[in-house]
Amino acid sequence: MKQIIGYFVILCSIPLLLLVGNEVWKELAKAKQYEQSIVQSIELPEVASSTLPITMYDANNELFSEEYSEWSQPLPLNEIPEIVKQIFLTSEDEHFYNHIGFDVSAIARAFLANTTDQSIQQGGSTITQQLVRMRYLTTEKTYERKLMELFYAHELEQMLSKDQILELYLNEMYFSNQVYGIGGAATYYFDRPLSQLSLAETTFIAAIPNNPSLYDPLKNFENTKSRQERLIDQLAEHNIISQSEATTHKNEIIELNVKSKMQQYPSYSTYVLQELRWLIAKQTGYPEKIAVTTDKMEKEYLQLEMEKEIDAILQQGVHVYTALQPEKQVQDEAAINFILKRSELQASATVIDNETREIISIFGGKDYKKHDLHRAFQSPRQPASAFKPISVYAPYFETTTATKNAIVSGSKYCVGIFCPENYGGRVYGNVTIETAFKHSFNTSALRLFNKIGVDTAFSYIDQFQFNSITDKDRTYAASLGGLTYGVTTLEMADAYSSFIDGFYEPVRSIRKVTNLEGETIYSWSREQKAIWSNNTVNTMRDLLNEVVRSGTGEGLYSTSGYIGAKTGTTNHFKDYWVAGLTNDYTAAVWIGYDTPRSMEKIEKAKIHFSIFNAITD
């Protein structure tokens, strides 16, 4: 008797609840407080709830890496087969094209069902309500949230057409395993576009969103298959297919072909992701604002805002076309890993194509895995004498009339309290600049640096991309590569590329970035500027070559017809460097331990020479 009375009360209350009930009006008033933000959200239907992939292509336009935390491939409604729409309309919302966002009769049935066990289980939700729940609300099962859902659904129906709502719904549903949208589900579970799936395969993936955990085909295949068969039966009940067709489709064997994420060349793709963020940041204008802001809190705020804007752009999905030469990347990685295989040593290396000034190969560390420390651009180390061509010699020749045969002393020398020693504490008399350069005399380099001055030297250093060099580094120690944090092999190869012909443009891995429609939305400007005169370039190339012929670089070689390089060894043998160029490539190599310690015992092995030879040959 009590249950009958309960049904009667509920039936009488439903119209009142939906139309004039105090609770409804209370919730509507509450919702009106957020109406402006709600409308703004609804006015942006193109913003999907999932993150679209970032796909990377090599120099041959071949896909080599996909970056995504969620897999999604949105499709316009006209590219979604009609049978797919019918599957969801018949199973989720028969009256979709007739209601105003919610179905009063469905809600009434849900109220009756829910009263039976005194809990909220059956929702009576339309497709519009489900879309609202995915986009704007939580999935908690309370009457308060349900009422808010009705308001949102009605508002959404005022803003968008039925077809627009259905398109968004089909593209934003969750298909388990971080897969969103029917198009993404097709390519993820069958590795084929939706248009190429059979009806059995289509209904199979259509079974998943009803309960993505229960119907996860990778864990609960039989559950998914059972619901697929119910969906096929519904199609037959609505005369969309015949009973015999339904039987045939239910008997079709389902063979999954789950997509594996393309993740080749992690050293290269990891760097590309960082360069992509730099490229987008440059377009936002935030870096300039951050640079001129002196307030620390303001800098942090602007940095956060910039990162949010970059993330929002990347979530829309982009295609990134790069300069990667896959065969060279494979060859270089294999060679360096082989050289280091019996050692705890780490290494980084960067190779630039001299003709295009592009990064064609990069090595982030031994046996590099995705998200490891990328030593080629994330781990600056002291460059020692490898820095001298940039900090001392090229600026000296550029600002004086001296030649490589000019005389400089190699005797003891101090500037204030800075009194460096030559290797092994040796003291030399007057020598040519060529001799001082190829044997890396520290006292001679400091004398030349002092002649041109710190400001003049840094007027050249600052033109390159040394991101870790700060104002604190504007000291005499910089002449010998003594820096607060140091530099990376990427930065060194970038700077040395100016010795190709005296012109400089920052080296890049990215050629262009397009949106999903193939339109170019970002690309680096390709403007070269003259840094060194022809005389300076020729002199520096001669000096670098002499290092290899009869100086500290003996053991380096190239079959290209030219090689020039400068070596570097920091105090206590904690870092070994080679930076230089051949006719084909410009490269920089660093070896050492992540936690610095002496490598004096392996000095004669010249491991960094072997790496440089391998990647520039």
Q: 191-221: b or e for each residue (b if 16 or more CB lie within 10 Å)?
A: eeebeebebbbbbbbbbbbeeeeebbbeebe
Q: What's at 7, amino acid-wise?
A: Y
Question: How far is Cα of residue 351 from the mean position of the Cα atoms in its chain?
Answer: 20
Specify whether the CB–CB gap between 322 and 59 falls below 8 A. Answer: yes
The label of the residue with tokens 């957020």 reads: 34
385: annotated active-site residue? yes
The label of the residue with tokens 């080296």 reads: 507
The label of the residue with tokens 């022809």 reads: 534
**What are the Cα distances from residue 132, in Å, to 121, 148, 151, 267, 287?**
18, 10, 10, 41, 37
Q: How many angstroms separate the CA atoms of 430 and 452, rounded?
A: 19
Residue among 92, 94, 305, 554 flagged as catalytic:
92
Specify whether the CB–CB gap between 353 and 584 falls below 8 A. Answer: yes
Adjacent-strand bridge partners of 320 = 56, 513
Helix 82-92, helix 127-135: angle, nearest 10? 90
Half-sphere exposure of 156 (CA within 13 A, CB side): 31
| Spatial CB neighbours of 444, under 8 Å, sequence gap ≥ 6 | 408, 409, 410, 428, 431, 433, 436
Residue among 385, 391, 440, 497 flagged as catalytic:
385
Q: What's at 181, amino acid-wise?
A: G
Six token digits for residue 283: 């377009």
State the SS3 of 347-408. EEEEEEECCCCEEEEEECCCCCCCCCCCHHHHCCECCHHHHHHHHHHHHHHHHCCCCCCCEE
Instruction: Work out whether strand 520-522 and strand 510-514 pair parallel, antiparallel, or are unpaired.
Output: antiparallel
The helix (H) or strand (E) run that includes residue 31 is: helix 22-32
Specify whether the CB–CB gap between 365 and 374 falls below 8 A. Answer: yes
Catalytic positions are 92, 385
